[in-house]
Amino acid sequence: MSSADDRRTVGAGVRNGGVTVKEFTQKVNHSHPSLNKSLEGDIQAFLTDEDQLHTYDDLTKVNPVNPTTVLKCLQARYSVKVFYTHAGCTLVALNPFQPVPDLYSVDIMKKYHCAPQPQELKPHVFIVAEEAYRNVQGQLEPVNQSLVVSGESGAGKTWTSRCLMKYYATVAAASSVVETQNVVERTEKRVLDSNPIMEAFGNACTVRNNNSSRFGKYIQLQLDRCQLLVGASVQTYLLEKTRVACQPANERNFHIFYQMMKGATDEQHDEWKMAHDQCFVWLPNSGKDIEEDCFHETVEAMIHLGITAERQRQIFRILAGILQMGNVSFSSSMDESQPCHLDEQSKDFLLRAAGLLQVPAEELQTCLRVRTLKAGKHSVHKPCSQAECSVRRDCLAKVIYAQLFEWLVKFINSSICADSSAWCNFIGVLDVYGFERFQINSLEQLCINYANEKLQQHFVAHYLRAQQEEYMSEGLDWSFVKYQDNQSCLDLIEGSPLSVFSLLNEESRLNRASDANTLRVRLEKELCENANISWNKLSNVPHFTVAHYAGNVNYQIEGMVEKNKDPVPLELISLLQKSDNALLHQIFTDKETERMTTKGPSKVTVVSKFKNSLESLMKILHATTPHYIRCIKPNPDCRPQTFKKEEVITQLEACGIVETIHISAAGFPIRIPFKGFMQRYGLLVKCTKSVSHSVDCETDSENIQQDVKKLLSVVLQTHLSSDKPSELVHCGRTKVFLTQKMLDFLEVQRKKILSQSAFFIQCCWRRYQRHRRHTHRHSATLIQAAVRSWLVRKKVRRWNRAAGIIQNSWKKWRALLKSVAEAELDDAKDLVEEGALVSNPVIRERGSVQLSSIQEPVTVRGWPMGLALASAPSVTVSLTATGFQKMISVMTSLNLPSRKGEYKVETNQYTQELASIRAQPKGSVKLHYQRSPLLYADRQPDLKSDVTGFNEILLEKTL
């Protein structure tokens, strides 16, 4: 929560430096007379229990509310390492001054982002960030948000702004779409990488802060309709460019110069003509090492933002040239008509600077020592005095650095800014320089403190004054709380027709040398009636003192007019336009083009430009919903574990924390117009059971107030009957005023009703889906049954047709077999023909074989399996005249078993293919070998196989 040097946190608590509570109370009462004796008893009672003071997360719970009690609570919380405390609408952030890594981790970010009610968690800067983020999401209505981070220099504004940016880059980058996630991560990286560059070129180490912002910036984080981070833009205000050539005592130049000296490589040092041990006039306190001297981090950020290596080389050569130029010193010439002299060492530095800036060395030397005056159409060259030469040298360095910084800002915006059509809302983070008060204060401090006055006035106008005036106009019973209004101080600085700024501008536009005493006399004459300005008449130094809201500041007038003029000789601009450095040439060519196209007066002073830019910023702030974070600096030395009461109480009084707590504790921070209230919360009545009230959410403006009152009465009677309604909500004339508790309750009830409605819708939808699925399933079942039955019928019909064809074919085959068998068994003609061949009766007689009766089954081998024939009394084999050989083959085919060795037939035809018997023998069996229909007989079938299939058919009786 601090700037880069301020990342520090406290350890042990502070014990009031040995001061007792009574002594401290007396001291505060002495410095604050308004604290009367009637409150002393309450204060003593409250401060008695010191062990419980650190438990007050919100200072509105403190009773009584006064500087003493508020200060003691903050000190007690600081002592236990609790650095954030709510103060009504404002978050008070105490700078710990040492690292607290667990306080800003990604897990902590997710914890606050995912919490249903972040306000119920411990106070944290992430609560303010999440509240702004949810407002953009449309809790009431999507409005652009602004986070105003204010405080003194060193209070931790830069670190707080960095934490806010990191928070949004984390929570606004969650996406389930891979492509979108890659885009968001790339955008988030670039947005975060803009910080190291801006801080390197715009921050410096001061006596109050090691990382003090020397410019103001307003960062717009651009969100799309899904609240994803799609881009960002940066607006800067008043860079303190005088620091380039003039550093106050015990302070340093901008960080980037020290980063180059300490972090660059040897090759880079050789290119920049910078030795490691070289001393530069414009780099004081270079031996001091701070955390911000990280050159590698700056270069990496440049690479991620798209700055090429060649462009980086050009940038660093320009910066090195500025440093070399600072070592150039001039000595007065004896002859006033001759330019100032340069010693040999200064000439060498000048040559180095010209080489790095890539401009002609002779022309650079002439521009620094000789000025050109216009006399009509003629130009007159006049040598400059020693002081004028130094001023021109400083002016050249300042204008180069300022234009380089402006180019960087434009490049960063072009790299991270999204197209206008890609984003619809933004969250702005304002980080400006804190209130400053040094030993010597000049125009820079006047502008810085003026900016802080404007921000304080915005807070006063938006909250302390406008809110109370609205209470009164809306008819609330309200006692006005007094507060410190700084409008008179703003009138002194920027008022019209006469103010400090207007008189400065008038003096700057006069074509004459400025005189500090003359300006002081005029200021005293014209502004003496304003109580916020004063002079020390005993001082010999021209000055004026302004009573700011944060304290009195003494400003020196000497040199203020010249700084306001900010003159840049045209010959210097012409010289830079001739540079061979592409970046330097581009910057000043564009600047000249812009100057030629700009209308209006040619002389625009510094305060006028700053005032205009600040007014544009205030317009943006007024158009957004502001959130305030007050950074408090516990001690002026930036030391951890140190709590200076006087330092803190001054800051609390300056920013009006006590008044803010009073108004927040007694007021209603949330204000909603009637129409918006009815549109958002009218459903609470519609969905409430056992309520007879009738409320029309679309009623006209005449009756809307009555409907709002009815709605509030229903809600209060139904849900909050135990609380006092007047403490939670008030119905005004045009708006409803709510406390945060009441708003949270309404949101919870609304969320419950929406959840119930969503549940009912889901139930109906699921019931409809289930009925639809059941109908579809039933219909599909019917269709499937019909299709299956059709397929079965089709298959059965096919089977029937196939069975008929098989049966017909089988019947034909069976008939054919039967006819063939009958022909083989009963064809007498064939027997006659064969018998006719055997003419010899003897042979015929011998050919008849009579076998004795066989009791065992006769085995016949045939195809496809063996057939067991029943026993027959005799087997008669009739042989034809073809001879005895066929008879032997037939006998062999029968494979008759021998009995008692009476007979055995074995021939060489035993292994040949034989025919089989076609029928059961019941008498004589005729065996025909030649014309059997079984062409392939099994030679040795299984004797035990059953008779099935076609063999069963073949065993039918044929006789």
Residue 243 CB partners (closer than 8 Å, separation 6+): 204, 214, 251, 253, 254
212 among known catalytic residues: yes
Alpha helix (H) residue ranges in 541-581 = 560-565, 570-577
Give the whole-angstrom CA distance, residue 387 versus residue 628: 46
Secondary structure, 3-state, 15-56: CHHHCCHHHHHHHHHHHCCCCCHHHHHHHHHHHHCHHHHHHC
**Quick one: DSSP state of residue 101?**
G
Where do we find the tokens 């130049």? 253
Where do we find the tokens 């390492």? 81
Query: Which residues is 877 bridged to in the sheet?
Result: 849
Q: Of these residues, 212, 242, 442, 660, which one is catalytic? A: 212
236, 215 Cβ separation under 8 angstroms: yes
**Closest to 204 in 3D by CA, of 285, 321, 264, 148:** 285
* Amino acid at the residue 452: N
**Closest to 184 in 3D by CA, of 174, 199, 195, 197:** 174
Q: Of these residues, 88, 151, 154, 866, which one is catalytic? A: 154
> Which three-class secondary structure state does DSSP give residue 10?
coil
The three-point CA angle 597-601-607 to 5° equals 110
What is the chain's alpha carbon radius of gyration, rounded to the nearest angstrom?
A: 54
Residue 478 CB partners (closer than 8 Å, separation 6+): 468, 471, 472, 666, 667
Give the whole-angstrom CA distance, residue 155 versus residue 638: 9
Q: How many CB atoms lie within 10 A of CB 749?
A: 19
Q: Of these residues, 153, 508, 532, 664, which one is catalytic? A: 153
DSSP string over 887-936: HHHHHHHHTPPPSTTS-----TTTTS------S--SS-----STT-S--S
**Closest to 672 in 3D by CA, of 626, 715, 736, 744:** 736
What pairing do the DSSP bridges indicate for beta strands 90-94 and 425-431?
unpaired
Give the whole-angstrom CA distance, residue 108 versus residue 68: 32
Structure tokens at 823: 């022909």
* Amino acid at the residue 373: L
Give the whole-angstrom CA distance, residue 417 versus residue 415: 6
Q: Is 535 left (phi over 0), alpha (psi -120 to 50) or beta?
A: beta
Q: How far is CA 340 from CA 282, 331, 387, in A?
A: 21, 6, 10
Q: Of these residues, 95, 158, 210, 579, which one is catalytic? A: 158
φ/ψ of residue 625, rounded to 5? -90, 115
105 among known catalytic residues: no
> Which three-class secondary structure state does DSSP give residue 734?
coil
φ/ψ of residue 553, rounded to 5? -130, 130
Q: Of these residues, 240, 292, 297, 436, which one is catalytic? A: 436
* Amino acid at the residue 571: E
Give the whole-angstrom CA distance, residue 464 versus residue 944: 119
263 among known catalytic residues: no
Q: Of these residues, 213, 415, 554, 605, which one is catalytic? A: 213
Q: Of these residues, 66, 135, 209, 486, which one is catalytic? A: 209
502 among known catalytic residues: no
161 among known catalytic residues: no
Q: Of these residues, 151, 434, 682, 847, which one is catalytic? A: 434
68 among known catalytic residues: no
Q: Is 568 left (phi over 0), alpha (psi -120 to 50) or beta?
A: beta
DSSP string over 608-666: HHHHHHHHHHHHHHHTSEEEEEEEE-S-TT--TT---HHHHHHHHHHTTHHHHHHHHHH
What pairing do the DSSP bridges indicate for beta strands 90-94 and 625-632?
parallel
Tell me which residues are annotated as active site. 153-154, 158, 209, 212-213, 434, 436
